[in-house]
Amino acid sequence: MSSRRAPRGEYIETDTGNKVARKATLVGTQNIMLGGKTVIQPEVMIRGDLIRTAQAPSQAAAGAAPNNTAVSIGRYCFLSRGCCLRPPGRPYKGAFTFMPLRIGDHVFVGASTVVQAATIGSHVHIGSKVVVGEFAIIKDYVRILDGTIVPPHMVIPSFSIVAGQPARLIGEVPEGGIDAFELRDLYKTVGNNPHPAPV
């Protein structure tokens, strides 16, 4: 990033359409996989340096090359200002290891939210000031309301609406509410030359 370009945009836009704010903190970028068209707003922090050190037995047996991906994010995800993604860690066979954090497509992460889940599916809306505990598994089409604390190891099935401390099921996503998880339009509204939100 040369400083000669006079009015630098707020975002770095990659070939695959990712929009990464210059003021975002991405630690260990080589271990962070972005699927494309993902927005990372300023002050977002992603801990790619916390990689897995103990390999899964299946992988070790197969002799596969160690996969160092710490955080993988799908397409059309939106990481709001100040949120933090970090891989979950736990003791494993006498040592401590981190496990990768996998996020699907069309996942919205609200402002100041901390995510330490194992897996987040696709079409998930996580509100602001939410804490997703370590090794939580969130399936597709889940809405987590603002201020929710998802306890570690919790599994949230598809079409759930959860809230509270600790999180509890408070409703189901209605059939007609499925399209609202789509983040294509939101993607266009941010960046260096944002488009207004369509009607």
Q: How far is CA 51 from the centre of its chain?
A: 16
**Gap between the Cα atoms of 90 and 4, Å rounded:** 45
Is there binding between residue 49 and another protein (CB under 8 A)? yes
**Gap between the Cα atoms of 125 and 158, Å rounded:** 12
Q: Of residues 106, 141, 163, 187, which one binds another protein by CB under 8 A?
A: 141
Site pattern 88..127 for another protein (x: CB under 8 A): -x-x--xxxxx-------------x-x-------------
Strand, helix or coil for residue 89: strand
Q: Which stretch binds another protein (CB under 8 A): 4-12, 34-42, 50-58, 102-110?
A: 50-58
Is there binding between residue 45 and another protein (CB under 8 A)? yes
Q: How far is the CB of 9 from another protein (least distance, A)?
A: 16
Phi, psi angle pair for 197, to nearest 5°: -65, 135
Q: Which runs of consecutive H residues, i.e. helices, occur in 112-177?
A: none
Q: Of residues 14, 180, 192, 194, which one binds another protein by CB under 8 A?
A: 180
Q: Of residues 75, 78, 140, 145, which one binds another protein by CB under 8 A?
A: 140
List CB contacts of 56: < 8 A, sequence separation 6 or more: none
Q: Which of 83, 173, 170 is nearest to 124 (CA)?
A: 173
Q: Of residues 9, 66, 151, 194, which one binds another protein by CB under 8 A?
A: 151
How many amino acids of this chain bind another protein (CB under 8 A)?
Answer: 50
Q: Give me the amino acid identity at 63.
A: G
> Residue 37: which region, alpha, beta or left (left: phi > 0; alpha: psi -120 to 50)?
left
Q: Which residues bind another protein (CB under 8 A)?
A: 25, 27, 45, 47, 49-51, 53, 84, 86, 89, 91, 94-98, 112, 114, 129, 131, 133, 139-141, 147, 149, 151-160, 165-166, 168-169, 174-180, 195, 199
